[in-house]
Chains A and B, each alone.
Chain A
Amino acid sequence: MRTTRKSSRPRGRTAAVAITAVAALGVSLLAGCSKDSDEPAKAGGSEGDGKGKITLTVGTFGVFGYKQAGLYEEYEKANPNITIKENVIERNDAYYPQLLTHLAAGSGLSDIQAIEVGNINEIVSTQAAKFEDLSKAAGVEKSNYLDWKWAQASTSDGKTIGLGTDIGPMAICYRTDLFKKAGLPTDRAEVGKLWAGDWSKYLDAGKTYTENAPKGTTFLDSSAGLYQAISNSASERYYDSSGKVIYKTSPSVKEAWDLAMEATTGKMTAKLKLFDKAWDQGFANGRFASLPCPSWMLGYIQEKAGDAGKGKWDVAAAPKPANWGGSFVGVPSAGKNKEEAVKLAAWLTAPAQQAKVFAKQASFPSAPGAYDLPEVKDAKHEYFNNAPIGQIFADAAKSIPTLVIGPKDQQIYTAITDVGILQVEQQGKSPAQGWAAAEKEIDNALDQ
């Protein structure tokens, strides 16, 4: 008893000391950590320095082109008390989860946050309370934006949390040299007439092409892009207007799926996966003759097809107008300079500024007022045989239907293209098997 007590006392003491030392070190370390994490948050948040000077931060993913088009500088010049900083994350799949966690925490947010169209419904239906209502804000005019674009960022009770930046009206990009060899017309007006109004006519052209195809080439890159284009040209797809999931019975999904399967089983596609390395190589090697292309894809095609494809590509109108991609900017309510942020957001998305971004970055404006401005109206794309892309895409944009989007559009779409379609295209499964696999995948993704 005695010995144990004697020996236990010093040990107790040293243990206590050790714990104190460890704790002290820990506190200082943690303090170091929190300081580190505070600093970027400070830089990211907004701050006034007492003289009425305000720093506004804009959080975006990828290249929005505001900086590149000199818009920040222009705004700073017109408003000397404002400094603008941009926080960019390269990809939306990294940007969006971070935005969600920041919204939940109410900190770390930029004054203006960009939102991709694939996420806008989820934000509208679950996070609307954390964003400013822009519908009645000073300087915002609803008539500036396309109706369907405005509607996508509005809640059912009329709150609008995002202003449209760019959109992705679709056309068909095609190789004139390959079309010529396969006996198809090459002039963009004639090519557009070939399939005007009906996606199945596009596949009829595909049949003609496939019968006379130059060796080693196909009519299309993949069925997935075709499926995306067709399903986007409807007004209901995966959800109905009440928010119910209807993809299993939706006629537009069925039409898109059936045509995609027709293209696959008719051997019209190169069986590639969009944005894959092999897809890029397909452009470079002239592996396929056409693909549905939203406006933002032109730059991508030019980069990937490179000099070898110069003068060979052209752009024709799509069978039906549809939209693929685009973004919004919203103002989180947790910000300190909400008023100034709203003003900046409205200014950045006004027709004149959207036209400037288009001229620099080819992000197509969601403000129809911009379509009559010379930057858009007279825009021609040199790489695509000087196609009047401003006109082609503006015509498409004006008649795009208001597509109902739902919170899990992205997951449903990916399951259908990356599981359903690819199983049929690359693994030789039957369309029925592919569809069943996609359904199972979607059930697993939607189930909470």
Chain B
Amino acid sequence: MASEISDMTAVTAPPSEGGAAPRGGSGRPRDARDERRGRWRSRRYRWDVKAMPYAFVSPFFLFFAAFGLFPLIYTGWSSFYRVELTNLDAREFVGFHNYTRLLEDEFFWNALKNTFTIGVISTVPQLLIALGLAHLLNYKLRGSTFFRVAMLTPYATSVAAATLVFTLMFGTDYGMINWALEHLGFSHHIDWRAGTWSSQIAVSSIVIWRWTGYNTLIYLAAMQAVPHDLYESAALDGASRWQQFRHVTIPMLRPTILFTIVVSTIGATQLFGEPFLFGGPGGEKGGSSHQFQTLGLYLYEQGWTNYHLGRASAIAWAMFLLLLLIAAANGLVARWLRKNHEG
């Protein structure tokens, strides 16, 4: 369309600045047709080269627009309204009320705090264990493929199945962990779900179990890309295994470590399935004192148990802004590290 119009202007009115080559007038129709055909061909070629990549990547962006961007914007719009699932027709504009209410909402702050503590006690050990395991797997091992596949099995297990098993293991009366503790001499049964720390540790253990293998494989891949001569020269200089790990492996892995931290942080902020299922029926409360209610659970509780869709939307956007903040902080740290490293 756009090209046709520009052609027409080119034919009817000579370009004022003489930008285009002089076009054939009415006296030479054949040449003009040839020229036009040639131009058409080259244009088609150009489209093919320039437009096709866009066409090929477009499905992702279309799906993203439909299932990512649109919900995001719609949620943002809803967060400025008082809207109840039970009466969707009656929405009332309330400005920033849903957000200011969150600031005074102790349940929200509690959920934020829980998300943070569960995030820390699940992510930090997880990445440390993954680093150690990757280091071990990097040695020459018999059956290394077996170990690598085994590492990834928990990741391939569904959250529901894993959590179900863990919930049984953490059971108060008949749980395996309490049974084992009893054999170690602790006669008092721990009610894992009732305590704040015990429940958060239990939830974190599920997260750690599921994601350590995944991170291990990422570290392992990065470790195998570290050039061997670095280790050789380190060994020549008399560096021990540990010193090699600290002074060669870790610095070379820095970008990978940063990547896993970012991914794990995003995952921790959105943590939902594990605490939800760990809580049993009505799991969105995250325990009777909300002791392991994460932001995701609080969002779910407000939206789908209490039917306050506007408030739930505001929580969703608060989480989104939080993630942006975390991403920005990560970026700053990354830049600072790079500078420090180079300078």
Contact = CB atoms under 8 A, between A and B. Distances in A.
Is chain B a partner of chain A in the same complex? yes
A448 B81 CA distance: 11
A26 B43 CA distance: 23
A278 B282 contact: no
A427 B191 CA distance: 9
B304 to A, nearest CB: 6
B6 A9 contact: yes
A285 B175 CA distance: 13
Interface string A1-18: 110011001101110111
B17 interface: yes
A170 to B, nearest CB: 19
Given A13-B2, A18-B50, A414-B282, A278 B306 contact: no
Interface string A65-95: 0000000000000000000000000000100
A25 B62 contact: yes
B86 A122 contact: yes
B167 interface: yes
B174 A281 contact: yes
Interface in B1-22: 1-3, 6, 17, 19
Given A17-B51, A277-B280, A437-B289, A97 B304 contact: yes
Contacts of B305: 93, 411, 414, 445
A278 B281 CA distance: 11
Contact of B55 (A22, A271, A422, A448): A22
B131 to A, nearest CB: 35
A100 interface: yes
Per DSSP, chain A at the interface is helix
A287 B173 CA distance: 10
A140 interface: no
Nearest to A408: B306
Contact of A18 (B1, B54, B89, B194): B54
B93 interface: no
Contacts of B43: 13
Contact of B2 (A12, A101, A427): A12
Interface in A424-443: 426-427, 437
B62 A29 contact: yes
Interface string B64-107: 00100000000000000010111111000000000000000101
Nearest to B63: A29
A444 B101 CA distance: 11
> Among the interface residues B87, B88, B288, which one has the most CB atoms of the partner chain A within 10 A?
B288
A423 interface: yes
A6 B18 CA distance: 11
Contacts of A38: none
Interface of A: 1-2, 5-6, 9-10, 12-14, 16-18, 20-22, 25-26, 29-30, 33, 93, 97, 100-101, 104, 122, 126-127, 271, 273-278, 281-282, 285, 287, 407, 411, 414, 418-419, 422-423, 426-427, 437, 444-445, 448
7 contacts: A21-B58, A101-B85, A282-B173, A414-B285, A426-B194, A427-B289, A444-B306
The 8 closest A-B pairs by CB, nearest first: A422-B288, A104-B88, A18-B54, A426-B194, A276-B280, A14-B50, A275-B281, A22-B58
